[in-house]
Amino acid sequence: MLIKEIIEATGGMLLSGNINDDIHGFTQDTRQIQQGDMYIPLIGENNDGHQFIEQAFEKGAGAVITSQVIDYPKKNVILVPDTLQALTDMAAYLREHRHVKVVGITGSVGKTSTKDMIYAVVSTQYHALKTLGNYNNHIGLPLTILRHRDEEVMVLEMGMNHLGEIRHLTKIAKPDVAVITNVGTAHIGELGSRENILKAKMEIVEGLSSQGVLIINDDNDLLHGVEENGYRMIRVGKNEDCQLRAHHIQLLLEESYFDLDYQNQTYHVHVPVSGEHFVTNALLAIAVGLSLKIDIKKCIAGIEQFELTQKRMDVIELAQDIKVIDGTYNANLDSMKSSLDVLAQYPQRKIAILADMLELGEYTQAFHEEVGEYVAKKHIDQLWCVGQASQWMALKAQEHGVETYHFENNQQLIDALKNHLQDHDVILLKGSNGMHLQEIVEYLKETYKK
């Protein structure tokens, strides 16, 4: 992005530098600076990024956006009223002034795995860019857009905790194709009801282009009731009236198969991970590919090549034929159940290590109890819980006859786990990111190293 474009986008003032210089990298983190990058000092609750400007230049930054007057005559320095707003404005400008298609993805569960599948499908025909990690908020999404070089398609994940947040992101990204994976219970403590979560997710259509397409998971009860409103809609799922319909679903231990009905023809699809939710994600990804004029056989080939972002149900093979299913990135009611579905398929001894689900508000006890009941329903052999809220999970599972243990913290659980595991055990770890279950995964990997 040229300095003169950045000035136009932000309404900023060039304090020093060359308006024809081209900036190829943007970051708010001095630890990630590459030679010639633009450093964007953001002001947070505890830190002001402006105090690291000197460090940014020492590490090779060639430009900076700043809301404070500074003197670096040999660097590109642009003065703006607000650096966060400037970040937003640069991303919106770049999206508007580049010939690129944008796919926006939101939903209570499955955003990241769906994004990865869509990227795999789109990459069969186009040069594509996707959101890395969890860069899906008001800072991460603009930074992702600013990574654009010559890609033909951007696949952007959009996260939210409150009403209005998707509206902000979609007005920056202006998606040509919008995808809603589902409406579940994530952040229900903040939003108050699933109906409000639906409203928040539906904000994504406010940024749709005039020829935009909305793709929804029609198996979700609330999304099933969504009607077209000035945009084309594609429904996918198991329902008869879906444009892309899955049936004859086979869920194996580490892969899935299903038949896909589309335009009076049936296709066989292989998904290289297990779980019915991944079948839905595959349908959404194929629908995106078709909306971007990719042949359906290419779309199906893309699904077969997809790779899951780490910590989203990775299966880790350890010594003594012990398997660890790593779902430690985050958790809510729906993803807990989906993960237990995967664990339940294994014939070996099954151990679920589950931690608190956060941000549930008044639903905290009810949802943890529901998971405890589900553990029993899926015939999991042992439930190990950690955290204060998970006590409700443990008590409910015990009521239904499940061998259950509860711990206040991860170290207590690790101490109890020593010498407990047996050959061939399969262990699921799942909990909200703030519960730091990755500590237990690292213990297991070190202790049972092959």
Looking at 305, 328, 345, the residue that finishes a domain is: 305
Residues in the chain: 450
Angle between helix 83-97 and 165-173 (nearest 10): 40
User: What distance lies between CA 105 and its chain's CA centroid?
Assistant: 9
Q: What is the pLDDT of residue 312?
A: 59
Strands 426-430 vs 350-355: parallel, antiparallel or unpaired: parallel
- Which of these three, 48, 82, 116, is where a domain ends? 82
For residue 14, the domain's CATH number is 3.40.1390.10
Q: Where in the sequence is the domain holding 12, given as residue range(s)? A: 3-82
Segment 109-114 mean pLDDT: 86
Amino acid making up residue 375: V
- Asked whether residue 380 falls in the same domain as residue 293, the answer is no
287 and 323 in a single domain? The answer is no
The pLDDT of residue 112 is: 86
pLDDT confidence of residue 109: 80
Contacts of 442 (CB under 8 A, 6+ apart): none
* Pair 190, 337 in one domain: no
311 has pLDDT over 60: no
Query: Both 123 and 240 in a single domain?
Result: yes
- Mark whether 288 and 162 lie in a shared domain: yes
Residues 6 or more apart in contact with residue 40 via CB below 8 angstroms: 26, 27, 28, 49, 64, 65, 83, 86, 87
Mean model confidence pLDDT for the chain: 94
Contact yes or no for 244/236 (Cβ under 8 A): yes
Contact 443, 367 (CB under 8 A): no
Please report whether residue 92 resides in a domain.
no
Q: Can you give the pLDDT at residue 229?
A: 85
Residue 381: predicted pLDDT: 97
Looking at the domain assignment, is residue 55 inside a domain? Answer: yes
Q: For residues 272 and 318, state if they share a domain.
A: no
Burial class (CB in 10 A: 0-12, 13-18, 19+), 162: exposed
What CA–CA distance (Å, rounded) separates 289 from 414?
44
For residue 59, give both structure tokens.
Answer: 């590490």
Q: Are residues 272 and 353 in the same domain?
A: no
Does one domain contain both 321 and 235? Answer: no
Q: Is the pLDDT of residue 390 over 60?
A: yes
Cα(12)–Cα(434) distance, rounded to whole angstroms? 38
* One domain, residues 265 and 346: no
The pTM of this model reads: 0.85
Least confident of 3-12, 337-346, 367-376: 337-346
The answer on 229 and 106 residing in a single domain is yes
Q: pLDDT tens for residues 45-95?
A: 888 999 999 999 999 999 999 999 999 999 999 999 999 999 999 999 999
Q: How confident is the model at residue 310 (pLDDT cuts 50, 70, 90)?
A: low
pLDDT digits (tens, 9 = 90+) for 225-250: 998 888 899 999 999 999 999 999 99
Query: What is the number of structural domains in the chain?
Result: 3
Let me know whether 191 and 291 are in one domain.
yes
CA 253 to chain centre: 23
CATH code assigned at 409: 3.90.190.20
159-210 pLDDT, tens digit per residue, is 988 899 999 999 999 999 999 999 988 778 888 898 999 999 999 999 998 7
CATH code (residue 284) = 3.40.1190.10
Residue 138 has what pLDDT?
A: 95
Statement to judge: residues 116 and 67 lie in one domain: no
Pick from 135, 173, 180: nearest CA to 154:
173
What percent of the chain clears pLDDT 70, i.e. is strictly above it?
A: 99
Q: Is residue 408 part of a domain?
A: yes
Q: Is residue 88 part of a domain?
A: no
Give, to the nearest 10 degrees, the angle between helix 276-291 and helix 333-344. 110
pLDDT at 329 (0 to 100): 80
Q: In this structure, is residue 105 part of a structural domain?
A: yes
3-state secondary structure of 450: coil
SS3 content of the chain, % helix, strand, coil (to 5): 40, 20, 40
Q: How many C-beta neighbours within 10 Å does residue 112 have?
A: 25
Amino acid (one-letter) located at 450: K
